[in-house]
Amino acid sequence: MSKTNERPLKILITSMISVGHLNACLGIGLLLHKRGHDVYFAHYLKNRSVIESNGMKFISLSEYNNNSDYIIHEDLPRPPGFFKSKFDHAMKFSPLEMIKDELNSNKDNVGFLSLLEASIGENYSMLNIIDQLKPDVCLTDYLWVMPWMVKVNIPVVPIMSTSPNDLYNGPPLMSGYSINSSPQLWKEYNSLRERSELRFVARASEIFSSFGVEYVPRTYAKQLGIYIYPGPLDYKELGPPMKPWMRLDSAIRLTSSTEFVIPDKLKDGPGKLVYVSMGTLASTVPEMMNMMISALSKSPHRFIISTGPFGDSYKLYDNMWGDKYLDQVSILPKVDLFITHGGSNSLIESLTVGKPLLVIPQFGDQLANGQRIVDLKLGDKINLWEFNEEKLVEKIDLVLNDDLIRANVARVAEELKKSDSTNEVCSAIENLARAKEPSV
Give me the DSSP letters along 351-417.
HHTT--EEE---STTHHHHHHHHHHTTSEEE--GGG--HHHHHHHHHHHHT-HHHHHHHHHHHHHHH
- The model's pLDDT over 263-293, given as tens digits with 9 standing for 90+, comes to 999 998 899 999 999 987 777 888 999 999 9
State the burial class of residue 213 (Cβ atoms within 10 Å of its Cβ: 0-12, 13-18, 19+): middle
56: DSSP letter? -
Cα separation of 341 and 347, whole Å?
Answer: 9
Whether the predicted pLDDT of 112 surpasses 70:
yes
Terminal C-alpha separation, the chain: 19
pLDDT at 438: 41
- The model's pLDDT over 354-387, given as tens digits with 9 standing for 90+, comes to 999 999 998 889 999 999 999 999 999 999 999 9
Phi, psi of 199 (to 5 degrees): -65, -40
Domains of the chain in sequence order: 10-250+419-434 (3.40.50.2000), 264-418 (3.40.50.2000)
Residues linked to residue 59 through DSSP beta bridges, in sequence order: 42
Cα separation of 201 and 182, whole Å?
Answer: 28
Percentage of the chain exceeding pLDDT 70: 94
pLDDT at 76: 65
pLDDT band at 110 (very low <50, low <70, confident <90, very high): low
Q: Which of 300, 377, 293 has its CA nearest to residue 339?
A: 293
Residues 6+ apart with CB under 8 A from 104: none
Cα separation of 403 and 412, whole Å?
Answer: 14
Percentage of the chain exceeding pLDDT 90: 79
Residues 6+ apart with CB under 8 A from 416: 230, 231, 232, 249, 250, 351, 352
Residues 6+ apart with CB under 8 A from 38: 8, 9, 10, 11, 57
pLDDT at 2: 47
pLDDT at 437: 45
Sheet hosting strand 57-60, strand order edge to edge: 57-60, 38-43, 10-15, 137-141, 156-160, 225-228, 245-248
C-beta contacts of 101-109 below 8 A and 24+ residues apart:
102/196, 103/192, 103/195, 103/196, 108/195, 108/196, 108/197, 108/199, 109/196, 109/197, 109/199, 109/200
Q: What is the mean pLDDT of residues 166-189?
A: 95
Phi, psi of 363 (to 5 degrees): -160, 175
197: DSSP letter? T
- The model's pLDDT over 308-350, given as tens digits with 9 standing for 90+, comes to 888 888 999 999 999 998 999 999 999 999 999 999 989 999 9
pTM of the model: 0.92
- Measured in residues, the chain has a length of 440
pLDDT at 19: 85
Q: Which of 112, 284, 279, 297 has its CA nearest to residue 207?
A: 112
Whether the predicted pLDDT of 251 surpasses 50:
yes
pLDDT at 439: 43
Give residue 94's region: left, alpha or beta (phi > 0; psi -120 to 50): beta
Is-contact 62 72, C-beta < 8 A?
yes
Whether the predicted pLDDT of 5 surpasses 60:
no
pLDDT at 440: 39
pLDDT at 255: 63
Cβ count near 222 (within 10 Å): 17
- The model's pLDDT over 179-231, given as tens digits with 9 standing for 90+, comes to 999 999 999 999 999 999 999 999 999 999 999 999 999 999 999 999 999 99
pLDDT at 75: 72
| Of 251 and 168, the one with more pLDDT | 168
Cα separation of 230 and 366, whole Å?
Answer: 15
Cα separation of 17 and 34, whole Å?
Answer: 24
